[in-house]
Structure 1
């Protein structure tokens, strides 16, 4: 028997063990699997600042100027992610939300979501000018959000809302 044939015969005779799945099956063929994640972490939010400066000379004349910028403010917060095909959404850290925004009850749609064996990526539809990039590493559980409003990093844990026990 040739070595390649012997290897093929040996592999066909070996038992196959099923690996337990940690991902709920997708409700629609070709759609990403359904997942609920709770992520704890922190980051830095970009907050607008402004100041007015007034100056007078010895003749009583004056001038004023206004300056606008942004400052970085640190924060700790929880992020929730719900992966369900085209209905995928995220609850963003409040510190990163601008005053003019979309969303529904604090949840924002994840656009262009891509779910692979290694990672979950997409962008968050906060408003027309602010679409932070989302990345979740499926092996480490690390999450990162990065956009105009700031940056967030944290660690996600999967949970099932139907079976999760309340703390009180």
Structure 2
């Protein structure tokens, strides 16, 4: 029983993670297509002719590979994540690059959450606590990496 209480207490200690890895970002690709057309002929004995120009804009998505780092802060009352800029859509919320983590659930094996990027994009975050692997999947792209716990009070390396 005491062991269970200790495990529960340890599970709620603040956790700071830095995760290096990479992925693919879904980016908008925009192209403008110009066209010209003409028609000439006659209706009965009356000749006619017409011509015109038109322009169309075509928007598609392309995938862009990237390597980057994800930072995560958990169990300190303000669960948040710093996502790679490449994965962010043009319109997004956040504060200083940090986004709120919502619906955080944790057990001995995993941590699951969703990142509040904007009203349409809430990427799913999954962290395997045994292997340290992180996966993030959303409309703006995917990221896979390896996490390590970081002590925020540790002295600077340089």
The residue that corresponds to 2:58 in the other structure is 67
**How far apart are 1:66 and its partner, in Å?**
1.5
In the alignment, the residues of structure 1 paired with residue 13 and residue 129 of structure 2 have an alpha-carbon distance, to the nearest angstrom, of: 12
Q: Does 1:149 align with 2:149?
A: no
Q: Does 1:167 align with 2:147?
A: no
Note the residue ranges of structure 1 that are not aligned, 5 or more in a row.
Answer: 1-17, 27-31
Q: Does 1:109 align with 2:110?
A: no
Residue pairs, 1:5-154, within 5 angstroms: 25=10, 32-57=12-37, 60-84=51-75, 86-154=77-145
Q: How many pairs are equivalent?
A: 143
**How far apart are 1:22 and its partner, in Å?**
9.9
- Deviates further, 133-142 or 60-69: 60-69
Q: Is the 8 A contact 1:23 1:34 kept in 2?
A: no
In the alignment, the residues of structure 2 paired with residue 76 and residue 159 of structure 1 have an alpha-carbon distance, to the nearest angstrom, of: 20
Note the residue ranges of structure 2 that are not aligned, 5 or more in a row.
Answer: 40-50
**How far apart are 1:62 and its partner, in Å?**
2.1
Higher RCO, Cα 8 Å, sep 6+: 2
Computed over aligned residues only, the root mean square deviation of the Cα atoms, in angstroms, reads: 2.2
**How far apart are 1:84 and its partner, in Å?**
1.6
In the alignment, the residues of structure 2 paired with residue 23 and residue 51 of structure 1 have an alpha-carbon distance, to the nearest angstrom, of: 54
Q: TM-score normalized by structure 2?
A: 0.83
**How far apart are 1:102 and its partner, in Å?**
1.0
Q: TM-score normalized by structure 1?
A: 0.78
